[in-house]
């Protein structure tokens, strides 16, 4: 059970803060819901408390894990399928895990591929989404501005891979 003020990750959406817990009656059934606020994008979402594990909600990573993410971002591109459609599904599956290290791997690989060979429109959207998810978690973890983390990710990924 999480508490108001906890910083969590909602897979496929990014990091957010629990703003409240409310009981709502929907279709005749009363349930408790977490009210989530996404600080970057100003979106608010309600999720049933009972579905937290099923959805894959987890606490944001700590400082040590952020260092590991930065290490992943500065690494070399790893092997991915050559067919863009298979590569897209492969990367989407990694993002769906909600694991920040898998998301960092996707961001690094797609940024390097974009620089070297370019990306399809679908892969470019995937990169944008993965980067947003990654940046939101690092920014909340480090209590930093979103723009600063975007610059950090770009600098680390593109400079280190040259």
Confidence band for 158, pLDDT divided at 50, 70 and 90 = confident
Number of domains in the chain: 2
Residue 1: inside a domain, yes or no? Answer: no
pLDDT for 57 equals 95
Confidence band for 36, pLDDT divided at 50, 70 and 90 = very high
Verify that 77 and 147 share a domain, yes or no: yes
Verify that 153 and 75 share a domain, yes or no: yes
Q: Find the CATH number of the domain harbouring 156.
A: 1.20.58.1290
Question: Residues 133-155: what's their mean pLDDT?
Answer: 94
Q: Are 113 and 119 in contact (CB under 8 A)?
A: yes
pLDDT for 162 equals 47
Verify that 47 and 79 share a domain, yes or no: no
pLDDT for 1 equals 85
Verify that 76 and 155 share a domain, yes or no: yes
Pick the last residue of a domain from 59, 78, 94: 59
pLDDT digits (tens, 9 = 90+) for 60-102: 999 899 999 999 999 998 999 988 899 999 999 999 999 999 9
Sort residue 37 into left (φ over 0), alpha (ψ -120 to 50) or beta.
Answer: beta
Range of the domain at 90: 63-160
Verify that 96 and 26 share a domain, yes or no: no
Verify that 137 and 96 share a domain, yes or no: yes
Verify that 107 and 37 share a domain, yes or no: no
What stretch of H or E contains 66?
helix 63-73
Confidence band for 160, pLDDT divided at 50, 70 and 90 = low
Assigned token pair, 156:
């680390």
Question: Residues 25-36: what's their mean pLDDT?
Answer: 93
Residue 2: inside a domain, yes or no? Answer: no
Does this model's pTM top 0.85? yes
Verify that 79 and 29 share a domain, yes or no: no
Verify that 83 and 113 share a domain, yes or no: yes
């Amino acid at each position: 059970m999480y508490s108001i003020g906890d910083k969590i990750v909602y897979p496929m959406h990014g990091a957010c803060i629990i703003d409240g817990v409310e009981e709502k009656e929907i279709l005749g059934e009363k349930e408790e819901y977490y009210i989530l606020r996404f600080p970057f994008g100003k979106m608010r979402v309600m999720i049933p408390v009972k579905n937290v594990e099923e959805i894959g909600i987890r606490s944001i990573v700590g400082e040590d894990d952020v260092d590991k993410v930065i290490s992943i971002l500065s690494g070399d591109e790893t092997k991915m399928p050559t067919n863009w459609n298979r590569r897209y599904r492969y990367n989407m599956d990694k993002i769906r895990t909600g694991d920040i290290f898998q998301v960092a791997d996707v961001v690094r690989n797609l940024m390097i591929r974009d620089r070297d060979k370019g990306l399809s429109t679908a892969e470019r959207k995937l990169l944008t989404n993965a980067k947003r998810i990654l940046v939101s978690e690092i920014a909340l973890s480090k209590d930093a501005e979103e723009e600063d983390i975007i610059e950090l990710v770009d600098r680390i990924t593109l400079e280190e891979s040259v």
